Homo-oligomer: A and B are copies of this chain.
């Protein structure tokens, strides 16, 4: 009722059609539950806070506010801070022209800009299945027809790709330590995809947030390095510096860059220049070449601890898991008659959380998989949490065979 006594129906807003694609993120809702004290969470894809270079950030804040406060706090160029773009180019194997690098507000924003630039309602786009949930969300808003391409082991199934690629706007791939499966596309698999895409003029969106987090050997060189003109590359500072800065980047060929830049301007004018200058300051000199190996070594030992715990606690159970060569995630498969989504509440009751695999599929979800992050919990939490998870699965399994 308004003050003049008329009854109004303000709940029935006239949303755009795409609003139907805007639904609560299951993953976010899960993460809220897992933030409860007392829950050991393997759910979130949160870097270990231990790795955040707090001292270096302090020094960088001081330096930036001492030397460049006015520029660091003012509006800035949409392209990003030139020095940071040059530093990022240096970290990439194919040393792209810094002018092809666009600083984004997290690499998530790169997905949003790409969706805007390429996807009309009904446009066909290709993804792996399962794939990164955030990409599905960013793409879905533009109402594409999302088509899943099958994989053979870790590599893409090229004959399935060939079946689907006609009129596809792009294929979205996470070749290194994929989220959620942890798998990595082989050298041979990359060469095949790269040649295939080049010959058919199929744009590749290569998302690489985890590439630096290898354990023993670097992954094969990126798809973009093999054919920069045919790929848009997405990178992130979240996993090598800290996610709270929200700094990512994309590298795009000159044919695409100006349009992405214009979409960026319309989206948020530019990413925080204060943060860009801080990141640039922290990355000066030899910082990353000391810092990243420390993260690698920590995550490797955490992964090893989780696999040891899985071997210890679950060897009598009909479950399988992979041994990723880097990144943050292990992909665990229950027998296919079991359901990870309905397992979760029981796991949470026991005090442990994971992400049900269902969240990472756009259609025909495989319900019996789940994602375990090994980077956020401590090793003793890993031991306890995997034991609790084993108990939960064992109980569920025993109920299922009764």
Interface residues of A (CB under 8 A from B): 2, 4, 6, 8-11, 13-19, 22-25, 28, 44-47, 49, 52, 54, 57-58, 61-62, 65, 69-76, 78, 104-106, 108-109, 111-112, 116-121, 123, 134, 137-138, 140-142, 169, 195, 198-199, 201, 203, 227, 229-230, 238, 242-246, 253, 255-256, 258-259, 262-263, 265-275
Let me know if B46 and A142 touch, CB within 8 A. no
A117 is contacted by which of B15, B118, B199, B255 (Cβ under 8 Å)?
B15
Residue of B nearest to A75 (CB): B243
Distance in Å: Cβ of A112 to nearest Cβ of chain B: 5
Measured between beta carbons, the chain B residues less than 8 angstroms from A138 are 266-267
Let me know if B272 and A14 touch, CB within 8 A. no
CA distance A78 to B138 in the complex (A): 14
Let me know if B141 and A25 touch, CB within 8 A. no
The verdict on A117 contacting B19 (CB below 8 Å), with A65-B57, A272-B272 known, is yes
A23 is contacted by which of B69, B255, B262, B274 (Cβ under 8 Å)?
B262
CA distance A58 to B141 in the complex (A): 39
Measured between beta carbons, the chain B residues less than 8 angstroms from A229 are 8, 10
Quickly give the copy total for this chain: 2
A265 is contacted by which of B28, B105, B244, B268 (Cβ under 8 Å)?
B28
Distance in Å: Cβ of A262 to nearest Cβ of chain B: 4
The verdict on A70 contacting B46 (CB below 8 Å), with A24-B258, A245-B272, A246-B270 known, is no
Let me know if B120 and A16 touch, CB within 8 A. yes
Measured between beta carbons, the chain B residues less than 8 angstroms from A75 are 44-46, 238, 243-244
Distance in Å: Cβ of A339 to nearest Cβ of chain B: 25
Let me know if A245 and B274 touch, CB within 8 A. yes
Let me know if B120 and A18 touch, CB within 8 A. yes
Given contacts A108-B266, A121-B121, 17 further A-B contacts (CB under 8 A): A4-B195, A10-B253, A10-B255, A15-B118, A16-B117, A19-B259, A22-B116, A25-B265, A28-B78, A52-B69, A58-B65, A75-B244, A105-B246, A111-B266, A137-B266, A140-B266, A246-B271
The verdict on A273 contacting B255 (CB below 8 Å), with A16-B116, A16-B117 known, is no
Measured between beta carbons, the chain B residues less than 8 angstroms from A275 are 272, 274-275
Let me know if B269 and A246 touch, CB within 8 A. yes
Q: List 21 A-B contacts (CB under 8 A).
A: A10-B230, A11-B255, A16-B169, A19-B118, A23-B262, A46-B74, A46-B75, A58-B62, A61-B62, A71-B244, A73-B243, A75-B244, A105-B105, A106-B268, A108-B269, A109-B268, A112-B266, A112-B267, A245-B274, A246-B268, A246-B269
Residue of B nearest to A121 (CB): B121
CA distance A183 to B238 in the complex (A): 43
Measured between beta carbons, the chain B residues less than 8 angstroms from A22 are 116-117, 259, 262-263, 266
